[in-house]
Amino acid sequence: MTVRIVVLAKQVPDPETPPSQFKIDESTNTVIPPNGVPPVVNGFDLNAVEAALLLRDAGADVEITVLSVGSDFVMDAMKKPLAMGADRLVLVDDSGLGNIDSAATVKVLAAAIEKDGPYDLILGGRQASDWDQAHVTLGLAEVLGLPLVSLVQKLELDGDSVSLQRVIPDGYQTITAPVPSVLTITNELGESRYPNLRGIMQASRKKPEVFSLADLGLSSDDLAPKLELRKLYIPESNKQVELIEGEDEADSGKKLALRLREEKLI
């Protein structure tokens, strides 16, 4: 029996973008895409793709679908999970999805999963590297009425259940969850594999399956934000540095201690 897995993936600005190229339009509270730096798939979501591929490597018969919601997708970026070994890429691509909040994203993902499913496992990264909120996968489990296990670092299929290791501050928990379930995969799973040339060539020949909001029975009115972003800005840095010099290390240390005492820091 084929186990159907859907992995949630988000297109995000490249986290390796130099800080000098990071700019914000404060009039619209949006990040200005840097010139010449293409977006990437959220790295934590690639951990989730890797988790699904490891199940296949262990001998499970799995079909892996990658699902993303947004607009202005860059195919060179979004096809990376296909190049890694995923079977399908499903995009909900609509101009009304360019700047929606987590609640609206959950609504669209739930509608897409209900249309394209059913799925046995829904996997997502622990968070997205752009906002770091970790809201979407948790909200999706609530909307779909499915069990949720977060911060999974290892998983094994066992019939109608899945055995999991969940990261906790002083080690890990061993948990058994039913199928279907929603899981967030943590980067403790390990690095995601690098696509090989064969995978890249195969991915180049695959076309994504694209849904619009209308295809899912949704409209822009259904995506009213639950959160209000009042201000987005780059914090100003006002650091002042005072160098303490002495004749040698001992003298410098003595002068530093005296200066700290003057400032009532010690």
Q: How do the pLDDT tens digits run along the chain, 266 residues long?
A: 899 999 999 999 999 888 888 888 888 888 888 888 899 999 999 999 999 999 999 999 999 999 999 999 999 999 999 999 999 999 999 988 978 999 999 999 999 999 999 999 999 999 999 888 899 999 999 999 999 999 999 999 998 999 999 999 999 999 999 999 999 999 999 999 999 999 999 999 999 999 999 999 998 888 988 888 889 888 887 778 888 898 899 999 999 999 899 988 88
> Residue 221: its pLDDT value, please?
86
Element spanning 89, H or E: strand 88-93
The structure tokens listed for 51 are 């988790």
Domain range summary for the chain, segments of one domain joined by +: 3-223, 236-266
126 and 185 Cβ atoms separated by less than 8 Å:
yes
The CA distances from residue 189 to 68, 79, 164, in Å, are 22, 22, 11
User: Considering only the top CATH level, what class is 3-223?
Assistant: alpha beta
Dump the DSSP string for 35-68.
TT---EE-HHHHHHHHHHHHHHHTT--EEEEEEE
Q: What is the model's pLDDT at position 265?
A: 86
3-class state of residue 211 by DSSP = strand
